[in-house]
Amino acid sequence: MKLLTALSEGWSNEELKASVEAYVEMQRNERAGHLIIKQHYYSKLAKTFGRSEKAFEQRMQNISYVLSLMGRSWLTGLKPAKNVDADIADQIEKLLTQLEGQKVARIAAFEITVREKARQKNDHKPSGNQNPKPRRVLVTQFQRDAAVKAWVLQQAEGICECCEKPASFRGTDGLPYLELHYVRQLAEGGADTVSNAVALCPNCHREIHYGANAQALAAWLYDNVPRLSLD
């Protein structure tokens, strides 16, 4: 509780922005295969803003958690830490999307609030909203090549390339239902190519986006699907 309070209060927009910028820089360097020393980033931030290096390391883990709620990959070695409140998470998500030059419907604050309420013992049945108001949101979409998805699905032959089990059901078109997944997501600079795409069952697809073992599953795919390339 003390740690949550420390990480939720008193952080200026400048500190959060600097933390997110440092995180994104480290992640880009990691993807490029460059050696990164996280401690150097923590030390620089600590000297700039007068907080401890440990505080910035914890904040980086909060950023990993926000990315996990977004269904995105996080920096190796910075396991997601959920000790962040909804308002701070919303700011982090906003900064992440701004740095990437994208527009997305922000979800982190909502998901954190859901989890907080789910942990509370409350027998009161919510009334909800009979007439939820629509909200217009501009989002970034990537142009994709239909031939890539078609080829990957053909190669899979109805078998999930992660769990290696047959698709659990067929779509309305009669075909085994599998979903295309970009191992390095398009939003992270991934390519729309067969060397970056796999066919997954819905369960594996959700897990590789939102599961605690997402990074391990991605590593397994690189080791076991020959066409995949880190380039």
At 159, which CATH number?
1.10.30
Average pLDDT, the chain: 91
Q: Is residue 200 part of a domain?
A: yes
- pTM score: 0.84
Same-domain check for residues 171 and 97? no
8 and 86 share one domain: yes
Both 91 and 180 in a single domain? no
∠ CA 114-120-123 to the nearest 5 degrees? 105
Q: Is residue 39 part of a domain?
A: yes
Number of structural domains (the chain) is: 2
For the stretch 83-119, pLDDT in tens is 999 999 999 999 999 998 888 888 899 999 998 888 8
65 and 102 in a single domain? The answer is: yes
150 and 97 in a single domain? The answer is: no
- Please give the residue range of the domain that contains residue 209: 146-224
Calculate what percentage of the chain has a pLDDT beyond 70: 96
Q: Is residue 9 part of a domain?
A: yes
Residues 154 and 207 reside in one and the same domain: yes
153 and 209 co-located in one domain? yes
Long-range Cβ contacts of 72-75 (<8 Å, 24+ apart): 72/185, 72/187, 72/188, 72/209, 73/184, 73/185, 73/188, 73/214, 73/215, 73/218, 74/27, 74/215, 75/23, 75/26, 75/27, 75/30
Q: Is 57 within the bounds of a domain?
A: yes
Instruction: Give the pLDDT confidence score for residue 101 in this predicted structure.
Output: 86
* Any domain includes 100: yes
Same structural domain, 30 and 75: yes
- 29 three-state secondary structure: helix
Provide the pLDDT for residue 1.
40
Q: Domain for residue 127, yes or no?
A: no
**Per-residue pLDDT at 2:** 41
Provide the pLDDT for residue 230: 81
Rounded to the nearest angstrom, the gap between the alpha carbon of residue 110 and the centroid of all alpha carbons in its chain is 15
The answer on 103 and 170 residing in a single domain is no
Given 119, 138, 169, which residue is the final one in a domain?
Answer: 119
Do 112 and 164 belong together in one domain?
no
Q: Is 183 helix (H, G, I), strand (E, B) or coil?
A: coil
Cα(88)–Cα(65) distance, integer angstroms: 12
Q: What pLDDT is stored for residue 166 in this prediction?
A: 98
Residue 138's pLDDT is: 77
Say if 207 falls within a structural domain.
Answer: yes
Assess whether 108 and 6 both reside in one domain.
Answer: yes
Residues 102 and 16 grouped into a single domain:
yes
In a domain, 129, yes or no: no
